[in-house]
Amino acid sequence: MKTTNVEALFSGNAEWLGGLSNEAELARNCPAEFKQDNPWSDYAMQLFFRGGKLTNWKWRNTDQGHQRHQLACFRGLISTFGLKHEDKEAVAGWMLSVMLTEVPKYEALAKAEGHEPGEVK
């Protein structure tokens, strides 16, 4: 999917209690294709509502420091209370489309692993 304003996607800072410092700007500038049904945003919302494993992700950038920064921004965004749900869904899908080479197959966290529902690892 085509993306615009990509530099801004990961320029914010994850807030301590959830949220992203530039989330409102991202919601305003999110490309229209993410504001409708699409596989990126669908996957992001599965992670938001059900938690899930991230071990099957195929990252565009192989630098682990870069990956950690992008993941911190993504986690900050999906934990925000400052955006309407549909804006959160759209921006999260946009972020994933820039972070990853393909939409991953959803994998749930097993209860036996000691994780809470909605937790992203």
CB atoms < 10 A from the CB of 79, how many? 17
In the structure encoding, which two tokens stand for residue 56, read together?
């099957």
Q: How far apart are CA 105 and CA 81, in angstroms?
A: 27
Local mean pLDDT, 10-residue blocks, the chain (121 residues): 66 89 94 94 92 90 94 92 94 96 89 52 54
Q: What angle do CA 72, 53, 17 make, to 5 degrees?
A: 35
Enumerate the domain spans of the chain: 6-113
Would you say 58 and 100 are in contact if contact means Cβ atoms under 8 Å apart? yes
The pLDDT of residue 31 is: 94
The pLDDT of residue 111 is: 60
The pLDDT of residue 109 is: 80
In the structure encoding, which two tokens stand for residue 89, read together?
């869904």
Predicted TM-score of the model (pTM): 0.84
